[in-house]
Amino acid sequence: MKNKTQNRHIYWNPYFGGFLLGILIIFTFYITGRGLGASGAMKSSVVTIVDDVSHEHAEKSAYYSKFISGDKSPMNNWIVFETLGVLIGAFISGSISGRIGWRVQHSPKITRRRRLIFAFGGGILFGIGAQIARGCTSGAALSGMAVLSTGGFITMLAIFGTAYLFAYFFRKNWI
C-alpha cells in the first residue's frame, strides 16, 4: 500500500473528467430540464440575507422582490442543494486523498497577502460577470454549449478570451 504523501498529486485524467462532466450535464438536463450552475446558489444566499436583514427593502427592490415569495424560501432551490453537494463532495474527496490543508499557493515573487487580494478581487469580478451573463461558467457556458446555444459559445469565448488577455498582464504574479 502506497503512502498518502506519494499519491498527493495524482489526479484523474482531464479528458475522463470532461467526459464525466458531459454525462452529468446530460443527466441534469434529463432530470431537471435545466443545466448545471452554481451562481444561482450564491444569488439565493444573497437574497435570503437581504430579506432577513431588511424585508421591506427586499420587497420594494425590483431585483430582490422577484425571488421572494411569502411561503417559499429562496434557499429551497435545487441549485442550492447542488452547490452544497459539490462542496461536501469536494471535502470528502480531499479528505480521502489527504489534500485538505490551510495554505496559500503563490509564486516566490509575490506575498501571500497580494495573492489573496488578487484571488478575492478576481472572485468579485467573476461574480459580477456571472450576474451580467445570467450564469456562471457552468450555467451559462457549459450548459449553454451543451444545447448549442449561441450565448453559451459567446460566454465561453468571453471567459477564456478575457482570461488570456489578462493573464499576460498578471503573469508576473505566478512565473
Note whether residue 28 is domain-resident: yes
Cα–Cα distance measured from residue 54 to residue 49, given in angstroms and rounded to the nearest whole number: 9
- Within this chain, do residues 91 and 144 fall inside the same structural domain, yes or no? no
- Within this chain, do residues 157 and 138 fall inside the same structural domain, yes or no? yes
Note whether residue 5 is domain-resident: no
What domain count does the chain have? 2
The pTM (predicted TM-score) of the whole model is 0.68
Please say which residue of 60, 82, 100 terminates a domain.
Answer: 100
- Within this chain, do residues 54 and 81 fall inside the same structural domain, yes or no? yes
pLDDT in tens, the chain (175 residues): 455 555 556 677 889 988 998 898 888 888 888 777 778 888 888 899 999 999 899 989 998 888 887 778 889 888 889 889 989 998 998 888 787 888 887 777 788 898 899 889 988 988 888 888 777 777 778 888 888 889 889 888 888 888 888 888 877 777 6
Note whether residue 1 is domain-resident: no
Instruction: Annotate 102-121 with three-state secondary structure.
Output: CCCCCCCCCCHHHHHHHHHH
Please say which residue of 100, 118, 133 terminates a domain.
Answer: 100
Total residues belonging to the chain: 175
C-alpha angle 157/162/163, rounded to 5°? 100
- Within this chain, do residues 124 and 79 fall inside the same structural domain, yes or no? no
- Within this chain, do residues 83 and 117 fall inside the same structural domain, yes or no? no
Note whether residue 4 is domain-resident: no
Residue 17 phi, psi (nearest 5): -60, -40
